[in-house]
Structure 1
Amino acid sequence: MFDIDPMTLIVSALLIVAFASPLIFQRFKNKNKLILQQATFSEFAEMNNARPTLHEQWRNHYHLGIDTESKKVVYHRFGSYPEQTVIDLNEVKKVSVQEKSRVVIVGKEKRFIIDYLALQFHFKDESHSPKTLETYDGDLYSDMAGERGLTERWKEKIENILKS
């Protein structure tokens, strides 16, 4: 059998605890933040007589939902510049994806970098300017984590509700 020195065992245990404690603390902190954001989103939706049946939250910064019965889109952006919006789809003519990108040339290679993605709602009433709901901001994040697909997917969901 192995002979383990008690002092080595104690030092090893302390090092493991010292390494793991910040990770565990961060996980609990993020979980509590997520719970608070979900509660805020639900409260805002209920204040506007909406009960989102489809909803999605990403990057601990954005939360988007659709109430298919009352045809309302509920959007909440957290962070430095928070935004809460409810859009009645009965007043919307069409939805599109707004994308701002730039081309960067590195040697002989061209790269397209997306700086901004959003859902843009065009209303039936022409005097009402289009409303934009941001889904990705290149100033906040250095990379994309599927926001292009997410934005296209939500556009399709909203278009299906507009057709019905």
Structure 2
Amino acid sequence: MISIDPVTLAVTSFAMVATASPFVYYSYKLKKLTTANLASFEEFSTSNNAVPTQHERWRNHYHLGLDCQSKKLVYHRFGSYPEQSIIDLNEVNKVSIQEKSHMIHVGKEKRHILEYLALQFHFKDSSHSPKTVEIYDGELFSDLAGERSIAEKWQRILEKNLKSPI
């Protein structure tokens, strides 16, 4: 039988708790933030008579939802500059992807760096200026985490809903 020194057991236990506590704290904090963001999104949707059936959240910063019945898109951007908006797809003519990028030279190689990515809504009423909803901002995030595919996917979904009858 192996005997364990009580002091060694106490020091080892303390070290394990000290190592695990930041991860537990971050997990708790992230879950609390996610729950608050989701509650805010649902409250805004309900107050605008929209019941989104398709959702997508990414980076704990953006949330899109589509109510296929009433043809309303609900958009939320959280963080330092929050935005909430509802777009009635019955008033939209076309959805396009808006990109802003710049080119840098690294030796003999040229690289395109994406600065901004958004869905842009063009309305049937020409006096109504286009509306953009941000998908990615290079000022906030240093890398892409699938935002281009998210933008393309939602453009296809929204274009399909624009063509379908009411």
Bin for the TM-score computed over the shorter chain: over 0.9
Identity within the alignment, %? 62
5+ long unaligned stretches in structure 1: none
Which residue pairs with 2:70 in the alignment?
70
SS state at 1:105 partner = strand
CA distance in structure 2 between the aligned counterparts of 1:41 and 1:131, rounded to whole angstroms: 19
Within 2, Cα distance between the matches of 1:14 and 1:80? Answer: 37
- What TM-score results when the alignment is normalised by the length of structure 1? 0.98
- What residue is the counterpart of 2:147 in the other structure? 147
CA distance in 1, matches of 2:41, 2:50: 11
Q: Deviations over 1:69-97 (max 9, x none)?
A: 00000001011111000000000000000
**Residue of structure 2 equivalent to 1:56:** 56
Q: Which runs of 4+ in 1 moved over 4 A?
A: none
Instruction: Please name the residue that 1:88 is paired with.
Output: 88
Aligned equivalents of 2:141, 2:31: Cα separation in 1: 20
Deviation at 1:8?
Answer: 0.9
Q: Deviations over 1:116-148 (max 9, x none)?
A: 000000000000000000000000000010000
CA distance in 2, matches of 1:91, 1:53: 20
Q: Unpaired runs of 5+ in structure 2?
A: none
Q: Which amino acid aligns with 1:16?
A: M
How many Å separate the matches in 2 of 1:65 and 1:155?
13
Offset at residue 4 of structure 1 (A):
2.4
RMSD: 0.7
Using structure 2 for the length normalisation, give the TM-score.
0.97
Aligned to 1:161: 161
CA distance in 2, matches of 1:50, 1:2: 64
How do 1:101-112 residues align onto structure 2 when only pairs under 5 Å count?
101-112=101-112
Letter of the 1:58 counterpart: W
Alignment of 1:117-136 (within 5 A): 117-136=117-136
Instruction: Show the 5 A alignment for 1:9-48.
Output: 9-48=9-48
Query: Structure 2: how far apart are the matches of 1:115 and 1:57?
Result: 20
Task: Report how many aligned residue pairs link the two structures.
Answer: 164
